A and B are shown apart, each in its own frame.
Chain A
Amino acid sequence: MKDRIRKATEHVNQNEGLIFEKSSPGKFAYKLPPLDVPEVDAEKELGKAARHDLGNMPEVSEIEVIRHFTRLSTWNYGVDTGLYPLGSCTMKYNPRVNEAVARLEGMANSHPYQPEKISQGALLIIKVLSKCLTEICGMDAVTLQPAAGAHGEMTGIMLVRAYLESKGNPRKKILIPDSAHGTNPATAAICGYAVENLKSNAAGMVDIPSLIAQMNDDVAALMVTNPNTLGVFEQEVHKVAEIMHQKGGLLYMDGANMNALVGKARPGDFGVDVMHLNLHKTFSTPHGGGGPGSGPVACKKHLEPFLPVPVVVTRPNGALSFDYDRPQAIGRVRAFYGNFGMLIRALAYIMANGPDGLRQTTEDAVLGANYIRKKLEGVYDLPYKTPSMHEVVFSDRLQTAKGVKTGDIAKRLIDYGFHPYTVSFPLIVHGALMIEPTESESKEEIDLFIDAMRAIAQEVEEDPSLILEAPHTTRVRRLDEVRAARQPVLRWKPQESKTVAD
């Protein structure tokens, strides 16, 4: 069966222990300049507050630091390695020019409290990016302060609450479709709202009769993801907005999937009041093994007075400046001004694309997902036949007959040289395979993926144990996650190293 695996070949990789296991006294990876002021006696300076030793902190040389992290890196799979079809996470190419410009001296080394007169470049970047995002979303205003998508959700729902409070009643509940990301209900709870589940209809969309039945004066907002987590555009989203607005509620859009709409449709045009964006999904900032994110929130005029402080304004003399004097603002959601380094990268990405590039990017993302859908439908079960946008959700129904589940197919994909898709999400599809190729894949790479998925389906029929035991080619095999949770070992300690060393 090995001849079916065309993308990857096994190769030697290096073993590497924990850095603490390599440490020994007298090794150094640093050198400080000589002290040019009088030496101090720390004991005398700090008294009882003085520290005497740094425990098990490592002592290694520079080449060992380089080798340690280089070896670790080779155990990872990244977008740079190949197709990374993690649905809803949007693993697109991270342009390198973004990294170069974010590291310019005046950007990377600027202090958040340095005087505004020597921060005009940074302020202009905030202003220009705000304007771009406002236009892309069809909204009126934006805050760049939230540190990640979930943080943006929280900020957005706080805006909703502050707005409703200003009208006299914050209301009690947030409606959330059953297909939503887990962050949505968790966010509603953090903002002091009860969560009410809204079921999806047979097409995988918000069920309008249920919404009408559940919408009342207690409901502050509906949080809808559009396209939703099935990769389906909510075709009646404008009606949803109308229903919410008629009863005095607001429509929040989770913009996790905005990469399916940029340049093709604008949430502000179809009735959304407030939404967040994930700069690491739609605007190419790096995912970095799980962050940093950045979660700007865009809103309509009626929510603007409540945006977090500060906001960037232009003073009469033309200078850019932070405005803190906003009496209705929800306050601050983060120190300073957000993940500024990510804002630079997002702006560089928008500039590299322009209006045509952004539109083509969206079209290519949707084209890739639909091509995969067409090529794999029938090989894998497609539970919702509603047209797909940027991602497609299959189920493992055809494979479970042989005892193979979505998680097993995912592990076998690793042997084929691919990162797996998103496993078992959205929850409304039992045994979901959520596939999002993004625009960053060539037809050749997508075809290799399709071949791999087809070959695995074949293997399920011929030899399911091969799948159940996968992966076979990685440096560790399937890990005992139950053990990890039942007997948590969350840090290294000297004595434990002896019992479990490689």
Chain B
Amino acid sequence: MKTMVDEPERQAPSRLETVMRYLPKSPADREAMMREIGISSIDELFSPIPAEYRLKRDLDIARAFSEAEIVDYFRQRSAENAAGFKIFLGAGAYNHYRPVVIDMLISRGEFFTAYTPYQPEIAQGTLQAIFEFQTMVCELTGMEVANASMYDVSTAVPESVMMAVRVTGRHSAVVAKSVHPEYREVLKTYAHYQGLPITTIGFGNDGRVDLKALEAAVTDQTACVLVQSPNFLGTIEDVAALADIAHKKGALLIVSIAEAISLGIVKPPAEADIVCMEAQAFGIPMGFGGPYCGVIGTKEKYVRQIPGRLVGQTLDRDGKRGFCLTLSTREQHIRREKATSNICTNQALVALMANIFMTIHGREGLRELAIQNLAKAKYARGEFAKKAKVLFDGAPRFNEFVVVTGDDPHAVNDRLLEQKIIGGFPLKKFYPELGNAALWCCTELLTKAAIDAAAKAVTQ
């Protein structure tokens, strides 16, 4: 069963009607419907397809599986993946505890099997939830408005840059090298097709954006400066200083946030003009990279340039409060090629996970959770520093830090796997100049014992 497409097993189709559990029409129903339409064979309905292009064979895929077989197949795949490891990886995907309430609630069919709330009278649940999500994102990021969600932050980054281009009428961007390398790769792809020049700015010994280099790079042709905070190296940027440099030249400052839990204890980037955030840390499974939930926040004055859906409050005919999609004249189904973005689907169900997570933790819990992350990472840094070199210690950081080992970090990680520990992210691939450095992350889920074990193994 492992290589099921390579060795498709066949079964005769004769028992089909009795075995396809998702289809609710009985053979008699089908007969009656065909009679009503006036056809004697279902293939008559496919006659618009020219005969030579009609498929006259079975698709070459495996035969139908029972539910038990499906569960068994994916259990096997699951067992081939890591499970039960202590995870010291962050780098854009964070291992936080997910309260059980989240999946219980999002599994309610009325949330899970609804679509985009085009008919607000029977979608008030989704709409009010999104309105609350938008509100909480504003509260946490210091922005005045936030959209209903984006695919993820890596795609919200180029969308934010394109938004800055529209707002400023300028056509180039300055990007910090300490922004997640994969977000920068996605931006590069989008920018290539927009003919948008990008200048990259390095980081100093404290891991923060090199302010002098930035100042030199920003011109009166720069639409925006894009940074990340905490950045990919774990360092918290001086957002106010960055905003000053950008604003002096009339450019916008975009701050991307990969680790949303940081907002529980790190000052929000309120000086930014646009914040694009990944909400994965808020109760969304790491899930091998997706689905996640990006979100863009901005100032009220830029709201008509924001991409993606927005939910607004209004009144019904009887004056009762209700919610609906709004400002849709920005969007592709109305504006077509002049739209702010081609985005259509957002990440509503995933945004709902983040929403429930934020609601559960709330004002006190997010802070307490963030402080635990801060404490674990500080402790780990201290333990690692006893025998290995910890880089970029001159600026504040949240739950990630960079460690240089004597051995190649891939070799270190191989050793750690034997102890069921997944080590830090080797930085060589994206930052060859950092040599044997790796990015480590400590969330509240790592116990002191796990940190001690990792520190011991790393410094062996």
Contact = CB atoms under 8 A, between A and B. Distances in A.
B93 interface: yes
B20 A190 contact: no
Contacts, number: 709
A187 B194 CA distance: 12
A330 B238 CA distance: 34
B37 A490 contact: no
Given A46-B265, A477-B317, A75 B125 contact: yes
A36 B447 contact: yes
Contacts of B42: 363, 366-367
A400 interface: no
Contact of B32 (A59, A68, A113, A443): A443
A423 B116 CA distance: 13
Given A111-B422, A288-B350, A364 B30 contact: yes
B140 A54 contact: yes
Contact of B286 (A89, A110, A333): A110
Nearest to B126: A289
Contact of A420 (B36, B48, B119, B288): B119
Contacts of B22: 93, 95, 284, 352-353, 357, 361, 439-440
B302 interface: no
A172 interface: no
Contacts of A317: none
Residue among B45, B121, B194, B265 having the largest count of chain A Cβ atoms under 10 Å: B121
B53 A265 contact: yes
B267 A37 contact: no
B386 interface: no
B71 interface: yes
Nearest to B442: A37
Interface stretch (B150-158, B169-177, B218-226, B242-250): B150-158
Contacts of A86: 115, 118
A338 B110 contact: no
B216 interface: no
A423 B287 CA distance: 36
B124 to A, nearest CB: 4
Contacts of A70: 105, 108
Given A77-B123, A335-B154, A484 B189 contact: no
Nearest to B107: A99
Contact of A489 (B87, B182, B309, B312): B312
A410 B108 CA distance: 25
A167 interface: no
Interface in B71-85: 71, 73-85
Given A57-B136, A75-B124, A77-B110, A119 B64 contact: no
Interface string B82-107: 11110101011101000101011111
Contacts of B124: 72, 75-76, 475-476
Contact of A481 (B32, B80, B110, B314): B314
B234 interface: no
A363 B37 CA distance: 14
B145 A491 contact: yes
A191 B183 CA distance: 18
**A interface bracket (residues with beta carbon within 8 Å of B):** 35 or more
B368 A32 contact: yes
B321 A263 contact: no
Contacts of A29: 99, 101, 359-362, 365
**Chain B interface: which size bin?**
35 or more
A42 B374 contact: yes
A32 B182 CA distance: 32
Contacts of A333: 155, 186, 189
Contacts of B62: 351, 354
Contacts of A55: 139-140, 363
A60 to B, nearest CB: 7
Contact of B266 (A25, A49, A81, A104): A49
Given A185-B337, A480-B315, A491-B131, A502 B320 contact: yes
Nearest to A491: B135
A87 to B, nearest CB: 11
A370 B33 CA distance: 9
Contact of A94 (B113, B121, B139): B113
Contacts of A403: none
Contacts of A149: 344-345
A290 interface: yes
A474 interface: yes
B277 interface: no
A192 B125 contact: no
A12 interface: no
B314 A479 contact: yes
Contacts of A342: 290-291
Contact of B324 (A91, A363, A481): A481
Given A182-B333, A485-B327, A78 B314 contact: no
6 contacts: A102-B287, A339-B290, A357-B23, A363-B42, A363-B45, A477-B316
The 9 A-B pairs at the shortest CB distance, nearest first, are namely: A288-B349, A336-B289, A80-B109, A354-B64, A106-B78, A121-B80, A121-B77, A335-B154, A112-B289
